[in-house]
Structures are given as C-alpha cells and as structure tokens.
Amino acid sequence: MKRTISIALAFVGLLVGAGFATGQEVIQYFISFGLDGIWGAVLAGIVFSLAGAVILQLGSYYLANEHNLVFKNMSFQWLSWVLDAMVTITLFAIGFVMLAGAGSNLSQQFGWPTWVGSGLMLILVIITGFFDVDRVSSIISLVTPLIIIAVLVGFIYTMFHLPSDISQLDSMARDTESPVRPWWLSALNYNGLALLLGVSMCLVIGGNHADTVAAGRGGLAGGVLYTIMMLMAAVTIFFTFDKVGGAQVPMLKIMENIHPWLAYVMVWIIFAMIYNTCIGMFYALGKRLTAKRPERFTPVFIVVCVLGYAVSFVGFTELMGSVYPALGYAGMFMVLVIIIFWARSRVEISKESRLRSKIRKLVRRREDPSKRFTSKQARLLEHALAESQAEDEQIEETIIEEVREELHLDPEETDDAGKTEKPTADS
C-alpha cells in the first residue's frame, strides 16, 4: 500500500505542474466551453486513470530506466523511433514552458521580471539533477500534497460563495479562446498532452519498482486523485471566472481573492508544482540523450536546461497556446499505441507479475535474519529468476533493494552480485 501511494503521488505530481497548478490549462481546455467543459474534465479523468495504470505497469514490467527501452519492445523499429522522437521533443518543450511559467508566477505576485523567476527555477532544477531517480521521485511525492490542500481550500471557499448568475459566467467563459474544439476533442487533446509529457518519467518511476501490480494500482489511484483535483479546480475557476479569467496565473488570483496572505503561500506552492514538472522533464530528457553514454549525463543535463531557459523568454501564455495543442495530438497517438500494446501483452504481464511475487517471497525469506533459507528455496529462487523476462541480476537487485527497505535493513550490505552476505542454510 505504501508503495502504491508513493507511485500515485509521484504520478500526480508530474502532471499537476504543467499548467494545472496555475489554472491556465483548465481554462484553455475546459472552462472555455462553459459548463460543457466540466464534462470534458470527467472524460479526461477517466482516460487519465486507465492510461496512467497502463504506462506505470509497462515501466515496471520492463524495469525501464528510460522510455525508449519500452518503446523498442512494444512496436516496430520505425514506430519506436517516432514515439521516442515525440517524447524527447515534448520533454524539452514542456521544460521550457515550465521555466516560463515559473517566471510568470512570481511576476504576477511580486512584480519581478519574468527572467528572475525562470532563473531561480533553472538553478533549482540543475541542483536537483545531481540526485538519483529515487530522490527525484521522493521530492515529487512530498511536494504534491501541498497543491491538493490548496485546490481543496479554493474549492470549499468557492462553494460557500457561489455567484447568483451562472448563465453570465457561462457566457463569459465561452468567449475565451480555446486551442482545440469541440469540448470532447479538447479533453482528449489535454490527455494526450499531459500523458505525452509525463510518459518518460512515469516509465522510469514504474521501472524503479519490480511490483507490476503496485505500479498499475499506483497509476490508477493517481489518475483518480488527479481527476478529483481537476474537477475541483475546474468548478472553482468557473464560478470565479469573472474575477480570475484574465489572470496569467488564475489559481494564484483565486487565493488572493480569499485573502491576500494566502496568495503569498500559494505562489510558492505553484512554484513547487511547476518545479515538479520541470525537473521531471529535464531529468528524463538528460537520461534519454545520454542513454548510451550515461557518464555524460551531467553536462548534457545542464546544457538542455540552459537552452530551455533561453527559449522561455517567449512567454508562458504564448507558449501554451501554440506548443500545447500540437503536442496533444501527438500524445493522443502515443496513448492509443501504448494501450493497444498493453491489451495484447496483458497475459504475459500477468504471468510476470505472479512470478515476481514468488521471487519477492523467496528473497524476503533469504534477507530476513529471523528466517531460515534452505538450499531447496535457493534453487527455487534461481529457477524463478531464470524464468523472469527481466535480466536475472537486474530483477534480483531491484527486489532486494525493496525488500531490505521493507525489513529496515542496510541496503549496502550486499556482495558484488547484489546478494546479501547472509549464508544460505542447508535443508
């Protein structure tokens, strides 16, 4: 359960920052259709929940350390190249949009030049890039509850201060430009955009967990949580549209309307959520570009971050209106390909899941100082590892790390093969 919750929060954290936390995406993709946009948010939420479970489970199944490993296994060579190119371009595109969003966020609240906020975000992202994927995932999971609380506060306040004329708000909202029409296509385009930007880091997060069931449940739970948040944000922005519709960062304006001091809290929550997506994009991009030369990760990561900072000067709203729709259509294609492949592979995935559960039980018994591990059990473990579709050493090391964490044992007490130093007992 703990692993599922951690995966769910990391999944939500990756997706929330890319405009959700600011409120801009909610307006462009949903509220611009008035009350019909609420149905769009429901449709998007259903797709999010299902696709999130599929993507994270595939990452776990392949123990992926970068997205192209999965793409190569699930499609023809030309199609895997297309998907890889789409995701790689998206990582960079969303990265520089997020840097621009960080500048707009601090500019709206404090009146600072946008390059200051973007520069501060750049420095934080580069520093975080020196951590490993476990720490990055932990950071994302820890920050996510803040935006959940903020959205909940805004929603509850709005429900107690509902406007008297909803029809006027509906008319005002429909006058807003939307990059994609009609409402149902806009919802699917939003799905494609968000999942395309999140797929790379989600596959890496899923690949860091050997338990495919927990990964799938984490994606499903994250999708449901994301849907609830999206609906609350959409309803809140709709009922306050006359006050926040023209702001670059609507969610910040909502908090300012509740109380000026809340805006000073919200500005940093939004900044943190933008950071979540920003580090997710640039970290995954750096990993992809250096997949064959991992020792070059640091210089490549820094260079792409600095390049993203340069592009961010175009402006947050302008970039969202032009970059997001095109990426959304590409994402819709990617999601369709992934779901079809998962449906065809579900029997193999289920079989691998049962096998890994068996491996986990045997490894847990071997690692537990209070339990006796027999030579017969050692042979069973060796056979199960050989039968797994993952490489023996990779799957064993991943499960050992998870088991030792569960048992509160020192993860460093292993020999060169990744096995514990505890001697095996004869039967």
pLDDT of 156: 94
- Give the confidence band of 412 by pLDDT, cuts at 50, 70, 90: low
Helix (H, G, I), strand (E, B) or coil at 420: strand
pLDDT (mean) for 196-213: 82
Correct CATH for 2-345 of 3.40.50.2300, 3.30.450.20, 3.30.70.1560, 1.20.1740.10: 1.20.1740.10
Residue 318, pLDDT above cutoff 90? no
Return the higher-pLDDT residue of 380 and 318: 380
Residue 325, pLDDT above cutoff 60? yes
pTM: predicted TM-score of the whole model, two decimal places: 0.77
Is-cis flag, bond preceding 294, omega within 30? no
pLDDT (mean) for 351-370: 87
Of the listed ranges 16-25, 149-158, 405-414, the least confidently predicted one is: 405-414
For residue 125, the surrounding DSSP H or E stretch is: helix 114-128
DSSP state string for 162-207: --S-HHHHHHHHHTS--SS-SHHHHHHHHHHHHHHHHHHHHHHHHH
The string of pLDDT tens digits covering residues 18-44 is 556 778 888 889 999 998 999 999 999
DSSP state string for 362-418: HHHHHH-TTS---HHHHHHHHHHHHHSSS-HHHHHHHHHHHHHHHTT--TT-B-TTS
pLDDT of 133: 55
What's the whole-number average pLDDT of the chain?
83
Sort residue 63 into left (φ over 0), alpha (ψ -120 to 50) or beta: left
Residue 120, pLDDT above cutoff 90? yes
The string of pLDDT tens digits covering residues 42-93 is 999 999 899 989 999 998 898 887 777 788 887 777 888 888 888 888 888 8
Domain ranges of the chain: 2-345, 349-406
Residue 426, pLDDT above cutoff 50? no
